[in-house]
Structure 1
Amino acid sequence: MTNLKVTSHAPADLDGGLAALRGDCARMAPHWAVPEPAEPGPVPPSSIHGVTVPVRSARLLDAMSDYGD
């Protein structure tokens, strides 16, 4: 036999108002830790390799006018 008992961690009152919503957000805030932003460093051109452009894309870009000529 299957146990069909369902437990929910959601509040029973879905129309709790703004105060309930703010309380829910305050309880969840510690779970949403934001990592410190990492500053990207310069990349030497010698490390950029293996980039390929499909022929159709190259033709499309070649056919475009430069700066609205």
Structure 2
Amino acid sequence: MTKFEVHAPAPADPETGLASLLGDCARMAPHWAAPDRVLPRPVPLSLIHGVTVPPRSARLLDAMSDYGD
């Protein structure tokens, strides 16, 4: 049997307001620390292969406007 530990009780009323939500976010922020900077690495063209688009999807995309109406 697994014993679960609860560090903070869940709020009894989910409609407690923005202040409560901000407090919850502030308490959880240290648990989800993000790296200072992430640089995407380019993908070599040799790894991009085998992509196929069904003709029906290609026609659908071709019929769509580029910038919306």
Q: TM-score, normalised by structure 2?
A: 0.44
Say which one has the larger Rg. 1
Q: TM-score, normalised by structure 1?
A: 0.44
